Chain A
Amino acid sequence: MRDPVILPPRQVNRGPEAVPLTDLRQYVEALRRLGELQEIDVPVALDLEVGAITRRCYETGAPAPLFKSFSDHPGNGFRILGAPGGTSCQPGLRLARVALALGLPPSSNGLEIVEAIADSLDQPAIPPVVVADAPCFEHVTTGDAVDLTRLPVPLLHHGDGGRYLNTWGCIVARMPDGAWTNWSIARMMLVDGQRLTGIVAREQHVGMVAQAWAAIGKPMPFALALGVEPAIPFICGMPLPAHVDEADRLGALLGRPIRTVRCRTIDLEAPASAEILIEGHLHLDEAIEEGPMGEFAGYVPAEPPTRRPVYHVTAISHRTGAILPVVVAGEPVEENHTAWGIPSAAQILHDLRAAGLAITTAWIPLESALHWLVVTVPRDWRRRTGIEDSAALCRRIGEVVFAGKAGAVIPKVIVLNDDVDPTNVRELVWAFATRCHPQLGHATFEHIPAAPLLAYLRSSEKVAAATGKIVYNCLPPDEWGEALPIRASFRHGYPAEIVARVRHRWAAYGFR
Chain B
Amino acid sequence: MSRHGQTEREIADCVGAIYEASTGGGDWHQVGDRLRRLTNARRAILRVPDANGSSRNLLMNVDEGDAVYAAYYHSIDPYTSRARRDFSEERSGHLGRARIGAEIVAEDAFLRSEYYADFARRHARRHMLGGMVGVGQANPIGLFRDDTSQPFGAHDVRLLEILLPHLQRALELRERLGLVAEDACLTRAALDSVTVGMAIVDAGLKLHFLNEAGRRHLDHGASGLGSMRSGPYAGNGVYLAARSRQDAARLRRLIAPATASGTGGAMRIEGRDGAACAVLVSPAPAGLARDRGGHASGGPAEGLAMVVLQRLGRAVAPSVDLLCDVFGFSRAEAEVAAALSGGASAEDVARLRAVSLTTVRSQIRSILGKCECENLRDLEAAMASLSVLAPARP
Interface residues of A (CB under 8 A from B): 1, 379-380, 382-383, 388-389, 417, 419, 477-487, 492-496
Contact = CB atoms under 8 A, between A and B. Distances in A.
A486 B243 contact: no
B228 A483 contact: yes
B204 A478 contact: no
A478 B245 CA distance: 6
A383 B232 CA distance: 19
B204 A481 contact: yes
A487 B232 contact: yes
Interface in B249-306: 249, 252, 256
Interface string B85-108: 000000000000000000000000
A388 B232 contact: no
A484 B205 CA distance: 12
22 contacts: A1-B233, A379-B204, A382-B252, A383-B256, A388-B249, A389-B245, A477-B245, A478-B245, A479-B241, A479-B245, A479-B247, A480-B248, A481-B204, A481-B248, A482-B206, A483-B229, A483-B230, A484-B230, A485-B231, A486-B233, A487-B231, A493-B234
B235 interface: yes
A492 B234 contact: yes
A487 B233 contact: yes
A481 B234 contact: no
Interface of B: 203-206, 228-236, 239-245, 247-249, 252, 256
A482 B231 contact: no
Given A479-B241, A484-B231, A493-B234, 5 more contacts: A389-B249, A480-B241, A482-B206, A483-B241, A494-B234
Nearest to B249: A388
B204 A486 contact: no
Contacts of B233: 1, 486-487, 492
B231 A481 contact: no
Contacts of A495: 234-235
A478 B228 CA distance: 13
B248 A478 contact: yes
A66 B231 CA distance: 48
Contacts of B245: 389, 477-479
B239 A486 contact: no
Which 8 pairs of residues, A with B, have the shortest CB-CB distance? A486-B231, A419-B232, A483-B230, A482-B204, A483-B239, A479-B248, A483-B228, A484-B231
B236 A481 contact: no
A481 B246 CA distance: 11
B239 A482 contact: yes
Contacts of B256: 383
Nearest to A382: B252
A379 B202 CA distance: 13
Nearest to A487: B232
A262 B121 CA distance: 99
B203, B233, B235, B244, most chain A CB atoms within 10 A: B233
A486 B228 CA distance: 11
B241 A486 contact: no
B252 A486 contact: no
A1 B231 CA distance: 13
Nearest to A380: B204
B231 A419 contact: yes
Contacts of B204: 379-380, 383, 481-482
B230 A479 contact: no
Contacts of B248: 478-481
Nearest to B203: A383
A196 B244 CA distance: 64
Nearest to A486: B231
B249 A485 contact: no
A383 B204 CA distance: 8
A382 B236 CA distance: 19
A215 B52 CA distance: 97
A214 B245 CA distance: 57
A484 B231 CA distance: 5
A478, A479, A480, most chain B CB atoms within 10 A: A479
A481 B247 CA distance: 11
Nearest to B242: A479
Contacts of A481: 204-205, 239-241, 248, 252
A383, A417, A482, most chain B CB atoms within 10 A: A482
B109 to A, nearest CB: 59
B249 A478 contact: yes
A486 B249 contact: no
B228, B234, B242, B252, most chain A CB atoms within 10 A: B234
B273 to A, nearest CB: 19
A36 B241 CA distance: 52
A350 B206 CA distance: 30
B232 A485 contact: yes
Contact of B232 (A382, A389, A492): A492
B243 to A, nearest CB: 7
Nearest to A1: B233
Contact of A486 (B206, B236, B242, B247): B236
A268 to B, nearest CB: 52
A482 B249 contact: no
Contacts of A417: 232
Contacts of A478: 245, 248-249
Contacts of B241: 479-481, 483
B98 to A, nearest CB: 39
Contact of B230 (A380, A389, A486, A496): A486
A388 B250 CA distance: 10
A338 B161 CA distance: 70
Contact of B229 (A380, A388, A486, A487): A486
B232 A486 contact: yes
A383 B229 CA distance: 20
B33 to A, nearest CB: 31
Nearest to A484: B231
